[in-house]
């Protein structure tokens, strides 16, 4: 029992060490993140100005607002996926991790959390910016509804996307044509959750009851669990050449 | 094939009938040899002879198609983490993170091996930096360093967790004359003072003759010739490539 506790503690330490290293490395190459944020902001701006030109300044329907945001987030994920395993593999540092006594599951979990942190940070800026620029026709939500929207509409799908992104990044790192393989693999993996995520966001922004979004929540949770299980099951093969 | 030019008789590394096959191509074909404690073994051969593949298999980065590798009597399948604690690997690609400083890189890797208490990191890293004349650069990013300095940091990286075996893939490549001389001195010191077993690959025959206790010449994935120290000056090693 004590051995298990000690082992869990040391695993947690290793997890935190790898995560800290990833965050520190990312902060030192802040230009990469800026370029991703810039891409998102420009995309939102183009969407909004096109909509305003056609609809003469009327506020954007929630359906279009949510679709534009998640479309941009899906593309952003491709940029982040490169940072997870592909970049480490190309630089050779992944072998440094592979030759150290760190279990592959710890490595994968730390990459999922890193992807989640990075994606959440970018989403935060993009969603705030798009609320300001696109001015969606949402009704006034109370504090609880806003909390539900953040937790179930943003955090939960982001977690699912982070698992998918890590899986795809690990799957494609040995491929010769990574820029082609990454989106090609990501598309079928995230396709089943695009509709539930968008529907979940629309319903939550419309202030619907939780019981009415239960199916979407269950679908996203089930997808995340399935992808995580696949990731853990194939971790040995994924991280060996 | 077994050799030992020094004090101990303990076999530290056993390579038994190891083959690595890619499709129909044999990168390594039934390689067998033993390395005893406190020796330096040089592996030479023409490009594509299988040197790097052999180092990758010994370091656990790749699995052999057939045959077994035993390190201190343990195999990778059952004792992966224990074996990795015994080994320090330098690959042809650097394992160092360019954005992080020498201190941050070394702290990260020593944390992965969980060898020191929190307060010991700084002291230990400073000791090594002092020994390798890197004290003035310790808080500079790796990207600021010259190739020779980076190689010194790589050496510290693999020594910091007190390994028993060093696996060095082309450690002299890209180094100038003085840096090669310094690295030879460092490797000799490590063998003499730290009782380390070192296996290295290189194309520099003159270097390998200076420091190795024996040479393994690989040709098209097979051992073409085993040269003990006593025969090194009597034969023309290149003729066996």
Chain segment A183-239, per-residue pLDDT in tens: 899 999 999 999 999 999 999 988 888 888 999 999 999 999 999 999 988 887 777
Evaluate the CA torsion angle A201, A203, A204, A209 in order and state its sign: negative
pLDDT score, position B239: 74
pLDDT band at B70 (very low <50, low <70, confident <90, very high): very high
Q: Does A239 touch chain B (CB under 8 A)?
A: no
Provide the Cα torsion B166, B170, B173, B176; round to 10°: 40
| C-alpha to C-alpha distance for B180 and B186, rounded to whole angstroms | 10
Calculate mean pLDDT across residues A65-80: 92
Instruction: Please report residues of B whose CB lies closer than 8 A to that of A14.
Output: 111-112, 114
Calculate mean pLDDT across residues B70-76: 92
| C-alpha to C-alpha distance for B179 and B170, rounded to whole angstroms | 14
Instruction: Please report residues of B whose CB lies closer than 8 A to that of A29.
Output: 99
Check whether B5 has a pLDDT greater than 50: no
Chain segment A127-159, per-residue pLDDT in tens: 999 888 887 777 777 888 889 899 999 999 999
Check whether B82 has a pLDDT greater than 70: yes
Residue B48, classed as helix, strand or coil, is coil
Q: Of B110, B187, B175, B121, which is closest to residue B149 (Cα–Cα)?
A: B175
Contact map slice: A 73-92 vs B, CB within 8 A: 91-92
Identify which of B63, B87, B141 has the shortest CB distance to residue A240: B63
Q: Does B141 touch chain A (CB under 8 A)?
A: yes
Q: How much of chain B exceeds pLDDT 90, in percent? A: 51
Query: How long, in residues, is chain B?
Result: 241
pLDDT score, position B143: 94
Tokens found for residue B71? 């390190």
Contact map slice: B 41-80 vs A, CB within 8 A: 56, 59-63, 80
Q: Does A229 touch chain B (CB under 8 A)?
A: no
Chain segment A97-130, per-residue pLDDT in tens: 999 999 888 999 999 999 999 999 999 999 999 8
| C-alpha to C-alpha distance for B196 and A83, rounded to whole angstroms | 36
Phi and psi, residue B143, nearest 5°: -60, -20
Calculate mean pLDDT across residues B6-26: 85
Chain segment B176-213, per-residue pLDDT in tens: 888 888 888 888 888 888 889 999 998 888 888 888 99
| Entry pTM | 0.89
Q: Of B174, B158, B100, B132, which is closest to residue A21 (Cα–Cα)?
A: B100
Distance in Å, alpha carbon of A107 to nearest chain B alpha carbon: 11
CB B219 within 8 A of CB B207: no
Identify which of A28, A91, A101 has the shortest CB distance to residue B84: A101
Check whether B22 has a pLDDT greater than 50: yes
Check whether B1 has a pLDDT greater than 70: no
Distance in Å, alpha carbon of A100 to nearest chain B alpha carbon: 6
Check whether B234 has a pLDDT greater than 90: no
Chain segment A20-57, per-residue pLDDT in tens: 999 999 999 889 899 999 999 999 999 888 888 888 76
Which position has the token pair 């992966």? B80
Which position has the token pair 């191509």? B25
Q: Do A101 and B104 lie within an 8 Å CB cutoff? A: no
**What is the value of ipTM here, to two decimals?**
0.88
């Amino acid at each position: 029992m004590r051995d298990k506790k000690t082992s869990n503690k040391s695993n947690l330490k290793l997890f935190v060490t790898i995560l800290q290293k990833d965050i520190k490395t990312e902060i030192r190459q802040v230009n990469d993140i800026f370029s991703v944020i810039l891409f998102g902001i420009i995309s939102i701006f183009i969407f909004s100005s096109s909509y305003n030109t056609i609809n003469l300044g009327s506020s954007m329907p929630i359906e279009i607002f949510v679709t534009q945001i998640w479309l941009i987030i899906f593309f952003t994920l491709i940029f982040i996926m490169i940072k997870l395993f592909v970049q480490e593999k190309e630089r050779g540092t992944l072998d440094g991790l592979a030759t150290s006594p760190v279990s592959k599951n710890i490595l994968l979990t730390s990459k999922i959390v890193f992807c989640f942190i990075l994606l959440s940070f970018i989403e935060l800026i993009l969603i705030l910016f798009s609320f300001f620029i696109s001015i969606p026709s949402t009704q006034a939500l109370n504090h609880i509804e806003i909390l539900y929207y953040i937790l179930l509409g943003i955090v939960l799908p982001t977690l699912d996307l982070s698992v998918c992104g890590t899986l795809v990044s690990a799957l494609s790192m040995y491929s010769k044509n990574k820029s082609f393989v990454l989106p090609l693999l990501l598309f079928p993996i995230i396709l089943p959750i695009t509709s539930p995520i968008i529907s979940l966001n629309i319903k939550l922004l419309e202030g619907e009851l939780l019981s009415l979004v239960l199916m979407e929540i269950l679908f996203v949770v089930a997808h995340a669990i399935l992808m995580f299980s696949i990731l853990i099951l194939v971790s040995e093969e994924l991280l060996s050449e | 094939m077994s050799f030992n030019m020094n004090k101990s008789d303990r076999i530290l590394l056993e390579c038994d009938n190891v083959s690595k096959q890619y499709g129909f191509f044999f990168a390594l074909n039934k390689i067998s040899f033993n390395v005893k404690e406190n020796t330096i073994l040089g592996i030479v051969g023409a490009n594509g002879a299988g040197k790097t593949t052999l180092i990758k298999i010994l370091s656990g980065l790749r699995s052999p198609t057939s045959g077994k590798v035993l390190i201190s009597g343990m195999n990778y399948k059952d004792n992966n983490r224990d074996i990795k604690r015994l080994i320090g690997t330098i690959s042809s690609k650097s394992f160092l993170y360019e954005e992080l400083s020498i201190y941050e890189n070394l702290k990260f890797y020593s944390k992965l091996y969980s060898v020191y208490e929190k307060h010991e990191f700084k002291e230990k890293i400073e000791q090594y930096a002092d020994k390798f004349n890197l004290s003035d650069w310790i808080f500079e990013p790796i990207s600021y360093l010259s190739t020779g300095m980076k190689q010194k940091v790589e050496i510290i990286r693999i020594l910091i967790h007190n390994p028993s075996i060093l696996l060095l893939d082309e450690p002299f490549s890209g180094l100038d004359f003085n840096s090669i001389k310094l690295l030879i001195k460092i490797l000799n010191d490590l063998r003499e003072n730290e009782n380390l077993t070192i296996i290295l690959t290189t194309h520099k025959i003159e270097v390998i003759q200076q420091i190795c206790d024996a040479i393994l010449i690989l040709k098209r994935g097979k051992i073409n010739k085993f040269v003990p120290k006593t025969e090194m000056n009597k034969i023309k090693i290149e003729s066996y490539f």
